[in-house]
Amino acid sequence: MTTAKPPKPAAKKKPARKPADPNRAWAQYLKRYRPGLADFVVNGLTGQYGEQTWHPSRLDPTSELILTILTQNTADLNAEKAYEALRVAYPSSGAPQVHNPDIGWGGTGLSTAPAPDWTAVEHAPLPQLTDVIRPGGLAPQKAPRLQATLRYIREQRGDYNLDFLGEMAPLDARAWLTSIDGIGKKTASIVLSFCFGMPLMAVDRHVERVSKRIGLIPEKTTADQAHDMFLELLPPERMYAGHVLLIHHGRELCHAQNPKHDLCPLRDRCRAVEKKAP
């Protein structure tokens, strides 16, 4: 007589593993193998260029957004010309605004004057607006973008005021702005960082180049991903300083061609100088 074997207990299901967050994983890698690197960079650049603290130095957020769109793929100096032309062509009776940019800005600063009349800009005939902002470069692309941006804000909010963003959590405010066609994380982060002091990193070509050379972010990181990676690398209170210092360093010493390693305070830990730098 054969006895039936008792059934095997069902194998326990392993809980599904959460996929690792690559930005956090990179921050942990640096912490382990190159400890203190981000602080070293910010401290070294602060020693070179001075302490950088956030202070309200810019325009209102709508003006800052329009000015930042005008800077896309063009020099800050040209964007200033286009913005001044908007003020002349579409004047408003608003309060004069002081533009007092810090070392991250590549222009000379705008004159003190009211913001343009945004209603007039939104509804201007497109060929006319294109002519007005032509000194800034890429006018045929930017004129419709300016109008679409202003239209979106007005349709969503009833007016052109973006002060409400200051009440939102930084990533929610960034998501609101990037839902506008043609506004990416860089433009959104500039507006939110400069206007409200939000701890967001705007990764422009200077920030990207300098960070990759040092090894602060991996070579293959896209600029889009780097925006979120920096949120893991720097504490919120160092984000603003990190941003303006990296941009300024890219302009002053860490040029795309012939970077001036000999004058650089970061050379001892820079992977562009020494592949195994600590």
Select 17 or 275, whichever has its Cβ closest to ligand SF4: 275
Q: Are 47 and 265 in contact (CB under 8 A)?
A: yes
Query: Toward ligand SF4, which CB reaches closer, 123 or 251?
Result: 251
Site for ligand SF4 contains 242 (CB under 6 A): no
Looking at the Cβ atoms of 2 and 258, the one nearer to ligand SF4 is 258
Q: Does 270 bind ligand SF4 (CB under 6 A)?
A: yes
Instruction: Tell me which of 31, 134, 151, 261 binds ligand SF4, using CB under 6 A.
Output: 261
Q: Which residues have a Cβ under 8 Å from the Cβ of 217 and sit 6 or more positions away?
A: 26, 208, 211, 226, 229, 230, 233
Decide whether 154 or 212 has the Cβ nearer to ligand SF4.
212
Total residues at interface with ligand SF4 (CB under 6 A): 14
In this structure, are residues 249 and 209 in contact, taking their beta carbons and an 8 Å threshold?
no
User: Residue 54, Cβ neighbours under 10 Å: how many?
Assistant: 18
Please state the closest distance from residue 105 (CB atom) to ligand SF4, in A.
21
CA–CA separation, 246 vs 243, rounded Å?
A: 5
Cβ-contact 155, 141 below 8 angstroms: no
Q: Which of helix, strand or coil describes residue 199?
A: coil
**CA–CA distance, 99 with 271 (Å, rounded to integer):** 37
Closest approach of ligand SF4 to the CB of residue 212, in Å = 9
Q: Which stretch binds ligand SF4 (CB under 6 A): 67-75, 156-164, 215-223, 257-265?
A: 257-265
Closest separation in Å from C-beta 260 to ligand SF4: 6
**Beta-bridge mates of residue 113:** 97
Backbone angles phi, psi at 57, to 5 degrees: -125, 0
By CB under 6 A, name the one of 77, 138, 223, 273 that touches ligand SF4: 273
Residue (of 159, 133, 164, 135) closest to 146 by Cα position: 133
Minimum distance of ligand SF4 from residue 238's CB (angstroms): 18
198 belongs to the binding site for ligand SF4 (CB under 6 A): no
User: What residues does 97 pair with on adjacent strands?
Assistant: 113
Nearest to 133 by CA among 74, 70, 191, 183: 70
Please report how close the Cβ of residue 248 comes to ligand SF4 at its closest, in angstroms: 12
Distance (Å) of CA 254 to CA 6, 92, 149, 247: 72, 41, 34, 9
> What does DSSP assign to residue 274?
-
Give whichever of 115 and 264 is closer to ligand SF4, judged by the CB atom: 264
- Which stretch, 102-110, 111-119, 133-141, 253-261, contacts ligand SF4 (CB under 6 A)? 253-261
Q: Which two tokens stand for residue 220?
A: 């293959």
Q: CB-side exposure of 6: number of CA atoms within 13 Å?
A: 2
200-239 binders of ligand SF4 (CB under 6 A): 210, 213-214
Residue window 16-55: x/- pattern of binding to ligand SF4, with contact defined by CB under 6 A: ----------------------------------------
Tell me the window of 49-57, 149-157, 176-184, 265-273 that interacts with ligand SF4 (CB under 6 A): 265-273
Residues that bind ligand SF4 (CB under 6 A): 210, 213-214, 253-254, 259-261, 264, 266-267, 270, 272-273
